Structure 1
């Protein structure tokens, strides 16, 4: 199952990556993000669902979690939230 990891690139890059996966025959695509990029992942999913592939894709499953990450600069542990949004072809 194809996955798209959301980072700091322009939103359109991630939207097009998801659309390309569906155009290449994928039935499901998972959008993953951590921390501050969670809202961007939601934006990507909604743009794909409502603008680019309107009526062709639905949200299949949403998983939220958190994980501990060690900050390399300080060596301290931090908890970072994560999200996985599965988009499924109708």
Structure 2
């Protein structure tokens, strides 16, 4: 009887150890999956940042061109108003 009890205890301990190993493997697989998902998300964020930076540069260039065109239109309007005043004053 003691041999059966020892064998039963050893099998229970082995089964417990295998369950713990299985749980740890599952945790490691999940950690690896989470790490891979995080790396993929980081890659997407870097791509988005690059795209947004490019769009911002393009928008800034357009804003600069519009500002320059606005200054040119203002200058021409002032010149036209001065010309009209000069003509009306004569």
TM range (shorter): under 0.3
Higher relative strand content:
1
Greater Rg, structure 1 or structure 2?
2
Normalised by the size of structure 2, how large is the TM-score?
0.21
Q: Which has the higher contact order (CA 8 A, sep 6+)?
A: 1
Structure with more helix by fraction: 2
If the length of structure 1 is used for normalisation, what is the TM-score?
0.21
